[in-house]
Amino acid sequence: MESVAAVSAADRDSLPARLADRAVCIGPAPAGQSYLRPEVLVAAARGTGCDAIHPGYGFLSERAAFQRLCTDAGLTFVGPDADAIEQMGDKIRAIAVARKAGVPVVPGKNPIGAVDEFLTAADQVGYPCLIKAAAGGGGRGMRVVRRAGEGAVALQSAQAEAKAAFGDGTLYMEKYIERARHVEIQILADAHGNVCHLFERDCSVQRRHQKLIEEAPSPSLSPRLRSEMAQAALALARAARYRNAGTVEFVYDVEAERFYFLEMNTRVQVEHPVTEAVTGIDIVQEQLRIAAGEPLSFGQPDVRLDGHAIECRINAEDAWKGFLPSPGTITQWDVPRAEGIRVDTHCERGYRVPPFYDSMIAKVISHGRTREEAIARMRSCLASFGVGGVATTVPFLRKAIAHPRFEQGEVTTTWVERELLSDIGAQANG
Ligand code: MV4
């Protein structure tokens, strides 16, 4: 397969532009004038003779209208169809599909309109509860409500925020699971009725809903719960007649040892390499097979867990200044090569990290026979990971990986902000 990289002016001379068979410039550096312009991307694909567009994991990857535009232009969109994107993009519809498929959902109420409606529902499910935006996802526009008196203000501000951010102020509420882990199941489904899961990833190490470290398998799940969660994800994918790669996100209640469906992401995710490491399955290759109408290259019995994998996201940010972005020219780029280490990056010495985009500059994935070995390999890789010219999250990640709570595999979603940052003397705010 030949590849064409669609790049903005800022990325014209970048490593991915050179790695692709061809690169085509789709506009000026600001994303709104390049990567976020559906018509321009489709025209560039057609103009270079492409058959398909892989949308990646940012920008337009979960825009139903972009999928439709591709299809109408005779291009294959490497992902699910527009109806599936739309259905899962509406978190209330997604919950309805999950419930109908017999997947556990968090006690709550949707949608929620007036304050009295919220208060009645909150009395039933109990405090604390969580207000979420139907058009949100990924944690944007959420409000924890700890007592009835906070309800009115929380509802009003959540609605205003949702309306401003998504153009849709529809809200719903759930019981807030306080001691929670974020666990998600990778699925792949082809056009021939094969729906397989690739087990789970644990993404509990987050700060402000930005994932920092992910791993597979989850250190917190028993084999029984792992299997139940995977079956739940398959049931949802089947009920949604889902095709291509997707991730079914759950919240795992550590105290009750129960899991609940949260939402489904209809794209390949940043953290997919940990799943590739422990299953040996190339997820992007399977996405391309599926999009081409071919069957999956494996069946469910072929999917077995091999060891443990951890991913650290390396961002051009200064964790000691509240994760302040640090764009600029990379003057040193020494990436260790070692057994059980994969580094995905678009960076090299001399590259200018643009101020326009996400600050992630690399992903380090370690793989070992055990979690201990994966941690040891990650630790040794981070110890010799040398970047100059921009601040990075490497020093922060070294401390996170070495923290006893992480080593014990015991952290919950609030760990970074409630414990880790003060333990290591980093600043929680910019
Ligand atoms: C929750 C939750 C606990 N209880 N819902 C965050 C991302 C989005 N997909 C949904 N998220 C959560 N939903 C209920 N009912 C915990 C999270 C959550 C989280 C919450 C606060 C701070 C950090 C978090 C990290 C991951 C998940």
How far apart are alpha carbons 144 and 154 in whole angstroms? Answer: 8
Atom of ligand 1 at shortest range from CA of 108: 15
Intervals of the chain under pLDDT 70: 428-430
Distances 171 to 155, 157, 214 between C-alpha atoms, Å: 8, 11, 29
Where does 107-175 sit in CATH, by number? 3.30.1490.20
99 is catalytic: no
Pair type for strands 171-175 and 210-216: unpaired
How far apart are alpha carbons 62 and 37 in whole angstroms? Answer: 14
The pLDDT value given to residue 425: 86
How far apart are alpha carbons 427 and 421 in whole angstroms? Answer: 6
Distances 148 to 109, 127, 173, 176 between C-alpha atoms, Å: 16, 8, 13, 14
CATH fold of the domain at 180-429: D-amino Acid Aminotransferase; Chain A, domain 1 (3.30.470)
Domain boundaries, the chain: 1-50, 107-175, 180-429
Distances 78 to 27, 88, 278 between C-alpha atoms, Å: 22, 17, 24
Q: Residue 388 in 3-state DSSP?
A: strand
Catalytic residue selected from 37, 143, 181, 267 = 267
DSSP 140: B
Distances 211 to 154, 214, 249, 413, 428 between C-alpha atoms, Å: 25, 7, 13, 10, 15
Atom of ligand 1 at shortest range from CA of 144: 21
8 A C-beta contact, residue 142 and residue 155: no
How far apart are alpha carbons 143 and 159 in whole angstroms? Answer: 10
Distances 42 to 56, 105, 266 between C-alpha atoms, Å: 15, 38, 20
Q: Domain 1-50's class?
A: alpha beta
Q: What are phi and psi of 72, to 5 degrees?
A: -65, -25
For ligand 1, atom 25: residue with the closest CA: 413
The pLDDT value given to residue 42: 98
The pLDDT value given to residue 285: 98
The pLDDT value given to residue 428: 67
- Which of 176, 413, 421 maximizes ligand 1 atoms within 8 Å of its Cβ, making it the mutation to test the pocket? 413
For ligand 1, atom 5: residue with the closest CA: 176
The pLDDT value given to residue 426: 82
Residue partners of 188: CB distance under 8 A and separation at least 6:
195, 196, 197, 198, 244, 245, 246, 281, 283, 286, 287, 290, 296
8 A C-beta contact, residue 262 and residue 248: no
306-322: per-residue pLDDT in tens? 999 999 999 999 999 99
391-423: per-residue pLDDT in tens? 999 999 999 999 999 999 999 999 999 999 999
pTM: 0.97
